[in-house]
Amino acid sequence: MPFMAAGSCQHIMKTAFPDGFEESVIATILREVLKGLVNIHQHGDIHRDVKAGNILVDSSGAIKLCDFGASASLFDEGKRLHGRNTFTGTPCWMAPEVLEQEKGYDFKADIWSFGITALELAHGHAPYSKFPPMKIIMKTIQDAPPRLDHSERDKKFSKSFRKLIEKCLQKKAHDRSSAQELLKHPFFKKARSSEYLTRTLLKELPSLGDSAKESKIKQDMVIQKKLAEVERGALPRYRMSGWNFDVEAIKTQASQLPDGEDYFLV
């Protein structure tokens, strides 16, 4: 892969667009991600970790979907599998069927993650991102799918963008559109060229090295503040041991966590 000088979309938002991108930028980015997903799915693979942090931008505005460390094939020795069952991905972006681990999952799990990523690009963060993983799992399984609402924050977004998200964020996997179908959605008439991304996103962006140093300093300050609050007893402390979750235990623990609080994971 070539050097992607602008970093990830997550990095760009944290650096210069904390409240998310404008709609034409979102359409341009998502169109390219969909092209990647179409190719991945046609080859029988699932990405399983679609999110802004895995969408890279180079200095010319080109987009690439990266990090195939969690990807998997739906074929074994040439035979199509019913689905995958591995509990893998990043909680905020994981589809309900991945979390529930009951009937397995297929390409449509990526479509859910794609829909969550659309909201992430619109808001600067993923839905439920303020919650610990256990609570995210419960909200994803039990709550209605996230949507753009009619608040002051979201009223700027078009009906076509709302419809696109609805086609992705359906609880039942078979109700979601495929990547190929989504590429034909009217929303992508708003997509522009890579040169447009260069003008709108990258012009005032600091170098990747400089912004990474600044981000590290800010991150360290936040961690130190949270640690101090934990030591004072101001924040609840919850322990998780890696990503080999006991899903039923997580559900029980998550159901006991109140909404609207900050947490610190150790």
49 is annotated as an active-site residue: yes
CA distance linking residue 22 with residue 175, whole number of Å: 28
CA distance linking residue 196 with residue 202, whole number of Å: 10
CA distance linking residue 7 with residue 11, whole number of Å: 6
CA distance linking residue 61 with residue 202, whole number of Å: 8
Q: Closest Cα partner for 17 from 131, 151, 132, 120? A: 120
Contacts of 179 (CB under 8 A, 6+ apart): 34, 37, 38, 41, 107, 110, 111, 114
CA distance linking residue 105 with residue 83, whole number of Å: 5
Quick one: tokens of 63? 């987009």
- DSSP string of 221-265, one letter each residue: HHHHHHHHHHHTT-S-EE---TT---HHHHHHHHHTSPTT---EE
Q: Closest Cα partner for 81 from 103, 106, 98, 99? A: 106
- State the catalytic residue, choosing from 49, 58, 106, 110: 49
The residues carrying an active-site annotation are: 49
